[in-house]
Amino acid sequence: MAGRGRMKLCILQVLYILTLWHSSQAQGHVPGHGLVKEEIPIQCPNVDDKMNNARISILYTSGVLNQNPDYSVALLYQTEECYKCPLVERLVILNNSTSCNILIDSRWNSRLEIRPLHEETVKQDPSCKEDKLSEKLHENGTYDLYVTFTPNDTGDKTVPGTVKCRHLILENMPADSYIPIYVAIGCIAGVSILITLGKLLYKKRWYCLNRLFMTTGNESLINPGAYTSEDLGVMQTTINPADEQDSRPKKERLKSLDTFRGISIIVMIFVNYGGGGYWFFRHSRWNGLTFADLVFPWFIWIMGTAMAYSFTGMLRRVTPKHKIFWKIFKRSCILFVLGLLVNTGGCDPTRLTHLRIPGVLQRFAGTYLVVASIHMFFAKTVDVSMYTYWGFIRDIVDFWLEWILHIVFVTVHIIITFALDVPGCGKGYIGPGGLHEAVNSTEASVYQNCTGGAAGYIDRQVFGDDHIYQSPTCKPIYKTTVPYDPEGLLGTLNSVFMCYLGLQAGKILMTFKEPSARVKRFLIWGLFLCLIAGALCGFKKDGGTIPLNKNLWSLSFVLCMAGFAFVLLAFCYVTIDVYKVWSGAPFYFPGMNSIFMYIAHTTYQNYFPVGWKVEENHTQQLALHLWGPAFFCLFTYMMHRKKIYITI
């Protein structure tokens, strides 16, 4: 083990591990996981209950004895998650049908309408319109929808009859689909309390034994204060610690940084494994923010924070700039190659003509290369502005030129996004395409093939349709037909700024040594960035100037994620490094081996004891998807015990 017990992973070792990884059936960290487009059921299909769905039984009585298609009606449906989308025909009901069953997505509010197929023979009553039937359905709920056709009383066949509807009637009492989450929170809290009590009792036992058997009168043979406890109750003993103190200043090691990184990787594993089948543990379909959208930006952000420490160390060792750049370039290349190997994961041979080039680790590589290469020229070890009148903001003023360069990246992103004239799409379109802004379900939207606007257009021109992500998260909802890559080229400009905001947190830690000064600045930055993000998106999900959008890595999304990161780091720093009321466990251990965690969780996702087949319900899936992160926490704890740390 070289230096501080940290083991460096050479390129050959990386390639060996990834050869094993490539042969597995792993799925990389990509948003959406290729959701399959659902088929449209027609003519009263047989349906089985599924997770995240509700069943609607449509009971249609027409008062007409013979089957006549002129009196048939259709159920039109759309989820409110599909912003500015038309209603789509989901089910055709003949006039003599007694009932039809259909499953409706219960994750979001449902827009429903019963509409006659032939308006010249059947007139729609207001009770069948969208504003009367739409509502939020309960998962696993069974609903009855009564539809009645009444012929006209005049006997004149030219006068249409009327179709009327009753509001949806819930026929069962479905269990709360969030109960598994409540139980999981209770179990996690209970285990945490038991571990904490166990550590206290373990420490107290040794203290009592020392007082009972190892004292003579009032004199202690061994100083009880020499005992210290580490995570999960591991004891270490130091005798006469004052005699072993090193006169040299010790390098500050903040456990909060590794804990922050560990939180990100644990959340990533949980959401990559499925998040218990809950929609808010999966990536956003287009605009908006879910729990799963936090992890990738936070990794980018904390990479910038750690960069401040690594550069300070290299400068103190008087490392030449060409060697610093070589290290930056080498690490970026390794990350890029790892990303390509992630994209080839699967049991089938990779077709190079369809190899996805962008990806998560590729975004890491490009971001790190840009931010680190720029910071190489601005990093400093001497605080020369401490006693100036701008000393309280010297972490910003001393790097003013570096700030300007990164603001230029954001400006270029905005200009390209809103000023580039995309063929067939015009300027400034940032929607998902497909059904978005379509007039109706039969007429295609003018933006049907404009998914992602300028961002999608650039990737398709540079990489080609076959070399970018084929199943964006918007595809199942918006029925998009063109590929779109959420880790594309244009979004890299904003991820560079995200990383630089993380570097700003590192500068705060390097510049200001008082905990209160650090925490105040973290909270101010967090609040400031979140307010700007809210102003850009209009404090709403859709319709803002620059909406929160993980697929686009919009400016509002980056600022919001950075704001949350500042606040979370402040919490971790105060509880772990200042007041020491939390050791950082269990997140601290995976945070020390984040690259191993990323590789291992994708490699062994479908292998026992990490994963196995379970029923399609929230209870079993949530238990399995929580077990995966817990397993790797235990594994990295054992690595920590053996002082094994894998880095690139």
Where in the sequence numbering do the catalytic residues fall? 283
Beta-bridge partners for 102? 56
CA distance 488 to 463: 10
CA distance 274 to 268: 10
CA 479 to the chain's CA centroid? 22
- What element of type H or E holds 492? helix 489-511
Question: By three-state DSSP, how is residue 225 classified?
Answer: helix
Question: By three-state DSSP, how is residue 92 classified?
Answer: strand
Beta-strand ranges (E) seen in 130-280 are 142-150, 161-165, 169-170, 215-216, 219-220, 227-229, 235-237
Cβ count within 10 A of residue 4? 9
Supply 88's token pair. Answer: 């789509």
| Residue from 498, 501, 505 nearest 555 by CA | 498
Question: By three-state DSSP, how is residue 33 classified?
Answer: coil
Is residue 343 exposed (0-12), middle (13-18) or buried (19+ Cβ within 10 Å)?
buried
| Residue from 307, 318, 320, 272 nearest 292 by CA | 272
Sign of torsion over alpha carbons 429, 431, 433, 434: negative
Sign of torsion over alpha carbons 204, 210, 216, 218: negative
